[in-house]
Every structure is written in C-alpha cells, then in structure tokens.
Amino acid sequence: MILLATIPLPAISSALTPQHLPAARINALYVHIPFCFHKCHYCDFYSITRQTPERMTNFVDRILSEADLWSGAATSPARQADHRHLTIEPRTIFFGGGTPSLLPPPAMQRLIQGLQKRFDCRGCIEWTIECNPATVSLDYCAMMRELGVNRLSFGAQSFHQPELAALERHHDPDDVPRSLEMARRAGFERLNIDLIYAIPGQSLESWADNLQRAIALNTEHLSCYGLTYEPNTPIAVKKRLGRITAVQETIELEMLHHTRRYLSAAGLNAYEVSNYARTGKVCQHNIAYWHGDDYIALGPSGASHVQGHRWKNRGHLGGWERAIDSQTLPVDQYEHLSPSARAGELAMLLLRLEEGLSFSFFQQRTGLDARTIYASQIDALTQAGLLNCTDEHLSFTETGLNVIDAIAGEFILDSE
Ligand code: SF4
C-alpha cells in the first residue's frame, strides 16, 4: 500500500465512475482515516490535527457515502445494475491513517457496522486497524474485537524516549506494552508493531535493544522501516539545515541485516523487505498489494487499483468532502497502465517479497514469460550476485537486498 500510494499519477481530466472499470472481484478494502493528535516530523502521509469530534463523526458519514457510491446500496436500481459487474467482497480490510484509533468509539462502531452493511464481509479473514499506543483503552479494544476486527497494528517506532523525541512522536515507550496487554485481554491474537531504524542518534546497539523489547512482547508480526527523509517533512528540513545527522548508510545496512538474523532466530521470518511474521501470521492485506491484486480505497488520499486502472483520491479533506457531497468519486489522479507497464510494476512488487517473483504466478497474472522479457536483466543481476534465479523463482540475494530499490527499478518496462 505504502509503496503504491507514493507512485506519482497523472491528474484526471474527467470524472471516474465505477462504470469505467472492467469486471472485477475486489477482495481488499482500505479506509484512510486522516486524523492525528500531532504531526510526527518524518510523516508525509495525509493527516490533519486539531479536528473536532463533530468533524470526525461527519467524516464517518461521508466514508459511508463513498462506500455507497461503490456498493450501490443507496443508489437507484438502474445505477446498481450499471456497475453490477464490480463486486466488492473483502477478504481483508485495513483502516490506516492517520490514527484510526482517534475516532470516538460511537463513530468507530458506526463505521465498522456501516461497512458491514454495504459490503458482504462474511468472507473477511483479516480486519486490521492501526492504533497509536497512547490512544487505546481496554473498552475500545473490546468493542473493535466484538465487531469483528481481528488484527491491530501499533505504531511504536521506538522504545527509547530520545529516539521518539527525534521523530517528534508523542507517546511514551511504556504505552506500547500497556496497549498490547489490553489488546490481548480484549481477545486479539494478531498484533503488529511498527518500528523505525536509522533514527538520528540511534546506534546499532540501541536498535538491537528495540528489537529485543519488541520480541519480549511476543508479537506475531513486526514491520521495520528505515527512516526516510521525505521531501518537505520537518525532519528533512532539519537535516538540510544541518540540525540533525542521518545515520550512515553502512550502519543502516548493518541494522537491516541484524534485524533479519535476529528476528529469524526469534521465529519471525522476513516475508518482505520490511515485514516479519511468525508462521501463519503474515499480513494478508499487504500480500494483496504485493501480488498486484485489485483493491479499493476509501477516504482522502486513498490509492486504488483495479485490473491495471490505478487512481488516487483527493489528498485534501475539504476537497474529498466536497466530491462526496456532490455524489462523485473523489478522484483527482488516474492512470490506465499498459500491459507492459502493469507487468513491470508487478515485477517490482514481487521482487520485494522474500519468495521473490514466481515465474508461474507472473505468467498467470500477465500472460508474459518473465524469463524471456527480462532475460538481459536476469543475466546481468545474477552474474553480479544480486539475484538468485531458479527454475521457479527470481529473488534477491543478501547483497541484492542492499540495493533492492535499484534492482526493482531495472524491471520497469517501456510502455507500449
Ligand atoms: S501518527 Fe502516523 S500518520 Fe499521524 S503524523 Fe504520526 S506517522 Fe503520520
């Protein structure tokens, strides 16, 4: 999701409607909830602070109206017939943000139940909500669990106060074990912790300690991202002004390789460049993104993909609200990928997975033989020791992991 959400798209010249899209069965649904109580200094996701409970309540009304535009639940029978070819039956649902757990309990309840009324969620195997460790209570966790949510993801980022301060994260390290404990008491058996490494001032030892503390909490899933300095974020400006110093690249790579070794020994295997899980606890919603599946996003700045049609919702709450109020999809960027562009994008995504690009899966999705269309890349990158190639798979080596973004970029194909 994060990767796709950051791919630039052209501005759309006319309104997108569900009728523009080909027949598809959508199994993954994302909802972007753009409220935070404070803006962290490294963050370039769309979120706003200083919202009122009333605006959050109205936000839920509009998300449900946006869902109506897709489900046809509140529209005329003729319109329902128009887009009957598009079926949304989520296997996975993900509430991200922002800080979804900032929604007041009645608003969260209404949102979950409203989506369950609009879409057939009986086959939903994974419903994740991102939470800030400082914002949840036992009652809140219990409510979410009773409503059918079965996975929570906590943005811990670090267990060290100076590192949280460097990121301008406003929670206390002790909030993390406390909120995990509450989630477990409420019946959650699938919990994720997000951590960030290469924070300014962080040493390899300090990062190793963060990992130990996360493992001590017995989580089933960890996401570990290297800090990125996104343009125009406060942390990027501080770096440019020389107020902070980025961790050296060689140390960042040591942190990455230590993470893989340490977590593997602890029973959490890498399944993607930044994601680690115990057996059977892989995030299925993430897998849908990396497999190039179809998904629909609701909410401002949400990114969607259906059969090579990619679009992004308006990235501003006011603009998104106005579109919903006029009963149009709130889309302002759209692209229909050519078959070769779609194949290139799929290759890039699959190569980030530990299992790599399966030749048979790629052929089934694109109709193309990756061994043929990528013959020169495979030859050069395997000879350089950056990729492993077997009869079934193409996957990065330990050395290749160090330059995975550059490797993936080699697989972009010229558009026809
Ligand atoms: S809580 Fe998450 S979404 Fe909100 S500002 Fe911080 S990093 Fe961004």
pLDDT band for 2, please (50, 70, 90 cuts): very low
Residue 78 has pLDDT above 60, yes or no: no
**Range 386-415 average pLDDT:** 93
Residue 201 has pLDDT above 70, yes or no: yes
Q: How remote is the CA of residue 135 from the centroid of ligand 1, in Å?
A: 13
pLDDT (tens digit per residue) in 277-297: 999 999 999 999 999 999 999
Residue 161 has pLDDT above 70, yes or no: yes
Residue nearest to atom 5 of ligand 1 (CA): 39
Which pLDDT score, from 0 to 100, does residue 50 have? 79
Which pLDDT score, from 0 to 100, does residue 8 have? 64
DSSP-based three-state secondary structure for 121 = coil
Helix ranges (DSSP H) in 193-248: 204-216, 234-240
pLDDT band for 416, please (50, 70, 90 cuts): low
Q: How remote is the CA of residue 315 from the centroid of ligand 1, in Å?
A: 15
CA 260, 262, 264 angle in degrees (round to 5)?
65
* Mean residue pLDDT across the chain: 92
Q: How remote is the CA of residue 155 from the centroid of ligand 1, in Å?
A: 8
Helix ranges (DSSP H) in 43-172: 53-71, 77-82, 105-118, 138-146, 161-167
DSSP-based three-state secondary structure for 47 = coil
CATH fold for the domain made of 2-6+16-290: pyruvate-formate lyase- activating enzyme (3.80.30)
Residue nearest to atom 2 of ligand 1 (CA): 98
pLDDT (tens digit per residue) in 206-230: 999 999 999 999 999 999 999 999 9
Residue nearest to atom 7 of ligand 1 (CA): 43
Tell me if 2-6+16-290 shares its fold with 339-409.
Answer: no
Residue 73 has pLDDT above 80, yes or no: no
Q: How remote is the CA of residue 36 from the centroid of ligand 1, in Å?
A: 6
Which pLDDT score, from 0 to 100, does residue 208 have? 98
Which pLDDT score, from 0 to 100, does residue 74 have? 43
Task: Name which residue leads in pLDDT, 393 or 83.
Answer: 393
Percent helix, strand and coil across the chain, each to the nearest 5? 40, 20, 40
Residue nearest to atom 8 of ligand 1 (CA): 43
**Range 64-86 average pLDDT:** 69
Q: Where are the domains of the chain?
A: 2-6+16-290, 339-409
| Ligand 1 pocket test, candidate residues 1, 40, 41, most atoms within 8 A of CB | 40
Select the highest-mean-pLDDT range: 29-33, 38-42, 97-101, 229-233: 29-33
Q: How remote is the CA of residue 49 from the centroid of ligand 1, in Å?
A: 10
| Ligand 1 pocket test, candidate residues 99, 158, 317, most atoms within 8 A of CB | 99
| Ligand 1 pocket test, candidate residues 35, 39, 229, most atoms within 8 A of CB | 39
pLDDT (tens digit per residue) in 100-137: 999 999 999 999 999 999 999 999 999 999 999 988 99
In this predicted structure, which of 34-38, 85-89, 203-207, 301-305 has the lowest mean pLDDT?
A: 85-89
Q: How remote is the CA of residue 98 from the centroid of ligand 1, in Å?
A: 5
DSSP-based three-state secondary structure for 82 = helix
pLDDT (tens digit per residue) in 298-344: 999 999 999 999 999 999 999 999 999 999 999 999 999 999 999 99
Q: How remote is the CA of residue 290 from the centroid of ligand 1, in Å?
A: 23
pTM of the model: 0.94
d(CA 401, CA 354): 10
- Is residue 158 within 8 Å of 173, Cβ to Cβ? yes
Q: In the chain, pLDDT over 70 holds for what percent of residues?
A: 94
Residue 274 has pLDDT above 60, yes or no: yes
Residue 81 has pLDDT above 60, yes or no: no
Q: Which atom of ligand 1 is nearest to the CA of 132?
A: 1
Q: Which atom of ligand 1 is nearest to the CA of 36?
A: 4
Q: How remote is the CA of residue 234 from the centroid of ligand 1, in Å?
A: 13
Residue nearest to atom 3 of ligand 1 (CA): 98
Burial (Cβ within 10 Å: 0-12, 13-18, ≥19) of residue 92: buried
CATH 1.20.140.10 fits 339-409, yes or no: no
**β-strands 86-97, 126-131: how paired?**
parallel
- Which residues surround ligand 1 with Cβ inside 6 Å? 36, 39-40, 43, 45, 47, 97-99, 132, 155
Q: Which atom of ligand 1 is nearest to the CA of 157?
A: 7
